[in-house]
Amino acid sequence: MSDTSPQKPAAPTPFRTLAQAAPPRTPDLVMPTGPVSDEDRMRDELEKGILFTKVESVVNWARANAIWPLGFGLACCAIEMMAIAGPRFDVSRFGAEVFRGSPRQADLMIVAGRVSIKMAPVLRQLYDQMPDPKWVIAMGACSSCGGVFNNYAILQGVDKIVPVDVYVPGCPPRPEGLIHGIMKLQEKILSSKVELGPIPRKKRKGAA
């Protein structure tokens, strides 16, 4: 307390003010207020939100997380499909909440229920009406392989008429099972190849 020089306090006191502990010093570098060079300008632009990635990853990510199922409930599995849209097994967490009524606006057909011989042409027509890219989940035992019913009236597996991406077993599968199937389909979509087509080249002057 007898020492009054501000640089070196002699004895450590129990309380020190901020001015005593960290006295202000003149800074070594003066920060500029705006971009100084071209490099600085580019760094600013990047911080505003530009990504570098492959088109394939972005497209697959968008397709996987916004699957729009077609409302195609045939039999008992349809009720469990409605249950995943319900409050307990919320499927809108996975982006698939919007069940479209028209096949022209849907990209996933969940064949939920047994497919009878009378319904098979209708199913094929609906599949043909869906625009690319489209996927099919065969939900339940009846659409995977005929299920409990092995007789004249039921198609033994919907893969006889449409290509199936994911089979979900169960009779009916629990809603968690169907959500697991949708997640597997999301994995499949994320790892699929996206055909971008030929990259257009500049026409050379004078070329035919």
Partner 1 sequence: MPLAPERVEEKLRERFPGVAFERQQGEAVRDFTLYLPADTLVEACRFLRDDPECAFAMLSWMGGADYLPRVPRFECVYSLLSLQRAARFTLKVRVPEEQPRVPSVVEVWPTANWHERETYDFYGITFTGHPDLTRILLPEDWLGWPLRKDSPLGYEEVAFTHNTPGRIKPSPALKKLAPKKVRYRAQ
Partner 2 sequence: MTLNMGPQHPSTHGVLRVALELDGENVVACKPVIGYLHTGMEKQAEYKTYTQSIPQTDRMDYLSPMSNNLALCLSAEKLLGVQIPERVQAIRVLLTELTRISAHCVWLGTHAIDIGALTVFWYCFREREKVLSIYDMVCGARMTASYFRVGGLAMDIPEGFLERCDKFVREMPAHIDEYESLLTKNPIWIARTKNVAPLPAADAIAWGVTGPSLRGSGVKWDLRKAEPYSGYETYEFDVPVGSRGDAYDRFQVRVAEMRQSTKIARQAIDRIQQMGEKGEYRLRDFKYVLPPKEEVKTSMEALIHHFKIVAHGFFPPVGEAYLAIEAPKGELGFYFVSDGSARPWRMKIRSPSFVNLQALPVMVQGKLVADVIAAIGSIDIVLGEIDR
**Shortest Å distance, C-beta 68 to partner 2:** 13
Catalogue the E-assigned strands of the chain. 69-70, 108-112, 135-139, 166-168
State residue 13 phi and psi, 5-degree precision. Answer: -90, 155
Site string for partner 1, 125-164 (x = CB under 8 A): ---------------------x---xxxx--x--------
**Which CB, 93 or 118, lies closer to partner 1?**
118
Site string for partner 2, 59-78 (x = CB under 8 A): -----------xxxxxxx-x
Report CA-CA distances (Å) from 42 to 14, 30, 114.
Answer: 50, 21, 59
Task: Give the Cα separation of 65 and 81 in Å (integer).
Answer: 18
Are the C-beta atoms of 85 and 99 separated by less than 8 Å?
Answer: yes
Residues 88-117 that bind partner 1 (CB under 8 A): 117
The contact set with partner 2 (CB under 8 A) reads: 70-76, 78-80, 82-83, 86-88, 99, 101, 103, 113-114, 116-119, 122, 126, 148-149, 151-154, 171-172, 174
